[in-house]
Every structure is written in structure tokens, then in C-alpha cells.
């Protein structure tokens, strides 16, 4: 009985603390997020590249730019739906800017390959930046123009810059493939010549500490 009375005595204080905690949670600033979408050939590789970036919260493999709703991987691979393999990046703009994400995109693709990317050819493997608003469009187009003007490449930049339409997530076995199947992933990445071609274009691969390399 005595213990019960002591518990009752503490209830008002506990309620006050709980109320303060709830109010603090409601007023605490929520992290802002934004979305960017990139197609750079095999989405396994693009997903891996963006998951390394500080400020990126998620990178999801999927399909964009086609004419069929909810396409399967097998259907997209028939090259009849118009979809490209792509990655939807959710990021914190206070930690990484869209311009930095675009810069990192270029360094993970072959911008002058108009037929696909590396050993993968055809429309599903085309490179593209899919913008979500006018500001993203402006940044992407300016970045593309600057890359072309840099004279790094003799050929024209083949990457498309297109308004983002519906994005359909790929099947679960495609998500985080580089983590789920490391040996097969590395075999594909090097067997396809991706790593070698990127080093030829951009130099030896390095981590993206500030995305200004």
C-alpha cells in the first residue's frame, strides 16, 4: 500500500515530463528531403554509386520513361516499353546538392555512348537525367553544356534530359543487388567493362567525400 501511494505521488511529475517530450518532438525540425532520378545503364551499378554519397538517404532501382504501367523486368528487357533502367535517389538537400548529384552522375557513366552503357545496349540502358522541377532541369542542362564545352569528349554528349514521369520500382531481387550478391555483382561490373571504361574516362575511382572531384 505504501509503495502504491509513492507511485501516485510521482504521477503528476511523470505526466509533465511526458508532455514536454511530446511537445519537443512535435516542434523539432524535420529533415527535408528531395528526389532525383538518374538512368545510367545497369541500375545495380547506379544504385551502388549513389549509396556511397553522404546525404543520400535511399537509392531505389526501377524503370522510368516508358509507356506501360507497372512493367516487369522481363517486359522492359524486350525493349518494347520505352523504359530505361533508373535509380530514384532520395536525399537531404542540406547535406548534398542536386548539382553535386548530377556531377557524380557524369562520373559514373559514359556520357557519349548513344547506344546504351558499356556492354549493355538498347533503350533500357540509355543514360538520362529525369528532372522533377524547373530548377533541376536548369541545373542538369547547364551541367551537360559545361561538360560538352570542356572538350573532354570529341563526340556529343548523348545523355537525355527529360521530365520525370511515373517511376516503377524493380523487383525485390534487384534492390541492393551489390550487397546481396557481391561476387556476381563484381563479376558483372568488370565483365561488362564498366569499371575499366570509367577509369579510362575519369581516372581512378575514388570515394565521393564532397562530390567535387
42 included as an active-site residue: yes
Burial pattern 41-55, b for ≥16 Cβ within 10 A else e, equals bbbbbbbbbbbebeb
* Catalytic option among 42, 45, 119, 192: 42
The CA-to-CA distance between both ends of the chain, in Å, stands at 70
Q: Which residue has the cell 535517389?
A: 89
CA distances to 38, 103, 162, 198 from 134, in Å: 16, 18, 11, 30
* Rg of the chain in Å (alpha carbons): 23
Burial pattern 152-167, b for ≥16 Cβ within 10 A else e, equals eeeeebbbebbebeeb
Alpha-carbon distance 176 to 15, whole Å? 44
Hey, which residues are catalytic here?
Answer: 42
Amino acid at each position: 500500500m505504501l509503495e502504491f501511494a509513492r507511485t501516485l505521488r510521482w504521477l503528476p511529475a511523470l505526466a509533465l515530463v511526458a508532455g514536454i517530450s511530446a511537445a519537443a518532438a512535435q516542434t523539432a525540425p524535420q529533415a527535408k528531403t528531395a528526389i532525383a532520378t538518374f538512368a545510367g545503364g545497369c541500375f545495380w551499378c547506379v544504385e551502388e554509386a549513389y549509396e556511397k554519397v553522404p546525404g543520400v538517404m535511399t537509392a531505389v532501382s526501377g524503370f522510368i520513361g516508358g509507356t506501360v504501367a507497372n512493367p516487369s523486368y522481363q517486359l522492359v528487357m524486350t525493349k518494347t516499353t520505352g523504359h530505361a533502367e533508373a535509380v530514384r535517389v532520395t536525399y537531404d538537400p542540406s547535406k548534398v546538392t542536386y548539382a553535386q548529384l548530377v556531377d557524380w552522375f557524369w562520373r559514373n557513366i559514359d556520357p557519349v555512348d548513344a547506344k546504351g552503357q558499356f556492354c549493355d545496349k538498347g533503350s533500357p540502358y540509355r543514360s538520362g537525367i529525369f528532372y522533377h522541377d524547373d530548377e533541376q532541369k536548369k541545373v542538369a542542362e547547364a551541367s551537360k553544356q559545361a561538360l560538352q564545352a570542356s572538350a573532354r569528349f570529341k563526340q556529343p554528349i548523348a545523355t537525355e534530359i527529360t521530365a520525370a514521369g511515373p517511376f516503377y520500382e524493380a523487383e525485390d531481387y534487384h534492390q541492393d543487388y551489390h550487397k546481396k550478391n557481391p561476387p556476381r555483382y563484381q563479376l558483372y561490373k568488370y565483365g561488362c567493362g564498366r569499371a575499366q571504361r570509367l577509369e579510362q574516362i575519369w581516372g581512378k575511382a575514388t570515394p565521393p567525400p564532397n562530390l567535387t572531384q
